[in-house]
Amino acid sequence: MTHLLRVEILKLSRRPRTYLGYAGILLLLVPMLLGLLYGQPDRHLRHEIGPEFHVVGTFVNALFMARRMMEPCLWFFLPLFIAMVAGDLVAGEAAEGTLRALLVRPVRRVPVLLAKFTVAVLHATALTYFLGLSALGLGALFFGWGDLILIEHGIYVLGSGEALARLAAAYTAAIPGMVVVAALALFLSVLVDNSNGAIIATMMLLFVSFTLGGLPYFEAIQPYLFTTHMGVWSSLFEDPIPWSEIARSMAWLAAYCIAFVGAAALVFSRKDILS
């Protein structure tokens, strides 16, 4: 298994597609940075909290930027970047023909798939932390450090130490959701011989699940949708932190992950390699 993992890491690290996500994150930071620099965010936020609160100083700092980057990135861009890599792991090799060269070697298919899933997890993890660290780094460079003022389910003012700890916990808690996206993309990648198909199908399923999660008519099924639990990281900014709810969401995400990887392993182990 370590040999297979080395092979997968070697291949992934040399593939230009792997680095698109990192470049994408850096590109996304630019408009956020410009918005915070020139969009008068303090005025908007003061308006949001109302005239009864008197805020001295500024809302905007590195911690604020790292928090603000989470919504657009963790709901859309990171899943897209992760699907681009995980969806390519099997289907991309099938299209290039290297899958058959790989599988005529003395290797078992399930460990091959698990090695691919492991690198997808590593990629998702690295990308999530890269988002947080780059947002913090750029934010510190342009806005400095300070307390984090949150306007979520009320107004919270977190000292910089606690805010940093909560941000670290939130980014870490976002990883399981990203891993489920990777598992879904890998499963779809096993079903098709074209990575674009797997990537598009992953994003479509994600949107369908988001849509169902947002419509009141589907309340009955919403607790079972994986997208409902992907946002578990936001609970880490609540006070008190709802640990039991977080644990339940994590269990759901783990179950989804096992289901997608298990299904992928089942299909892959029986699949005729015709590409």
Partner 1 sequence: MIADPRKPERSPTDIVLRANGLCKRYGKRWVVDGVSLEVRRGDVFGFLGPNGAGKSTTMRMLTGLVRPDAGTVELLGHDLHRRPTAALARVGAIVEAPALYPHLSADRNLEVFSLLSGGASPERRAEVLRLVGLEGRGHDRVKSYSHGMKQRLAIAQALLPLPELILLDEPTNGLDPGGMVEVRQLLRHLASQEGITLFLSSHLLSEVEQVCNRVAVIDQGHVLVQGEVRELLREQTFLQITAEPVELARQILETLDYVRQVIVQEGTLRIDAPLDSAAAINAALVHGGCRVSALVPGRQSLEEFYLGLLEKRS
What is the SS3 assignment for 147?
coil
- The three-point CA angle 62-68-71 to 5° equals 150
Which of 4, 119 has the CB closer to partner 1?
4
**Residues found near partner 1 in the complex (CB under 8 A):** 3-4, 6-7, 10-11, 14-16, 96-108, 270, 272-274
At position 118, the amino acid (one-letter code) is: T
Whether the CB-CB separation of 222 and 213 falls below 8 Å is answered with yes
**Shortest distance in whole angstroms from residue 12 CB to partner 1:** 11
Place of tokens 């850096």: 26
Which of 92, 176 has the CB closer to partner 1?
92
Which of 101, 151 has the CB closer to partner 1?
101
Which of 96, 239 has the CB closer to partner 1?
96
Instruction: Give the burial class of 58: count Cβ atoms within 10 A of its Cβ; 0-12 exposed, 13-18 middle, 19 or more buried.
Output: middle
What is the largest distance, in Å, between two alpha-carbon atoms of the chain? Answer: 71
The Cα 270–Cα 275 span in angstroms is 15
Residue 150, C-beta contacts closer than 8 angstroms, at least 6 positions apart: 67, 156, 157, 158, 237
Which of 220, 274 has the CB closer to partner 1?
274
**Shortest distance in whole angstroms from residue 117 CB to partner 1:** 17
β-bridge partners, 151: 155
Whether the CB-CB separation of 75 and 178 falls below 8 Å is answered with no
**Shortest distance in whole angstroms from residue 10 CB to partner 1:** 6
**Shortest distance in whole angstroms from residue 97 CB to partner 1:** 3
**Shortest distance in whole angstroms from residue 114 CB to partner 1:** 14
Which of 15, 44 has the CB closer to partner 1?
15
**Shortest distance in whole angstroms from residue 121 CB to partner 1:** 20
